[in-house]
Amino acid sequence: MCAKVGKDKKKDKKKDKEEKTKDKISKVKVKVCKKCSNFDVTELEGMVKHYKTGCIGKCAHKCPELKGKIYGYLNGDFVVCDTKEQFFAKIADMK
């Protein structure tokens, strides 16, 4: 049996690393409002493959019960959490 050397070995390591990264990125579709969802939406980069930002029709001034909560749509379902860690955990659970 031959051992891989040089460039082939480096390519394999790079490919393995890319596959591990793909496994960590969720395929959940997320839609959040940059203004009202109460967290920095750039934190979704590298966490989910598809996310959209824009008005989701759940403005904090229209829905006072959402004030101080973290919320958005995950695969079309409206999800409300107390912390962004809980929201991110919901995303991770939906893989």
Q: What pLDDT digit, counting tens, does each position of 1-51 carry?
A: 444 455 555 555 545 544 444 455 668 899 999 888 888 888 888 888 889
| Residue 60 lies in domain | 26-93
- E-strand stretches of 33-69: 48-53
The predicted structure's pLDDT at residue 24 = 54
The predicted structure's pLDDT at residue 20 = 45
Instruction: Examine residue 61 and state whether it is found in any structural domain, yes or no.
Output: yes
Q: What pLDDT digit, counting tens, does each position of 72-87 carry?
A: 999 999 999 999 999 9
pTM: 0.70
Instruction: Examine residue 54 and state whether it is found in any structural domain, yes or no.
Output: yes
Instruction: Examine residue 89 and state whether it is found in any structural domain, yes or no.
Output: yes
Instruction: Examine residue 21 and state whether it is found in any structural domain, yes or no.
Output: no
Instruction: Examine residue 14 and state whether it is found in any structural domain, yes or no.
Output: no
Q: Stretch 51-71: mean pLDDT, rounded?
A: 89
Q: Stretch 53-66: mean pLDDT, rounded?
A: 88
Q: How many domains does the chain have?
A: 1
What's phi and psi for 77, nearest 5 deg? Answer: -100, 135
Q: Quote the CA–CA distance of 17 and 50 in Å, as a whole number.
A: 21
The b/e string for 57-85 (b: 16+ C-beta within 10 A; e otherwise) is: ebebeeeeebeebbbbbbeeeebebeeee
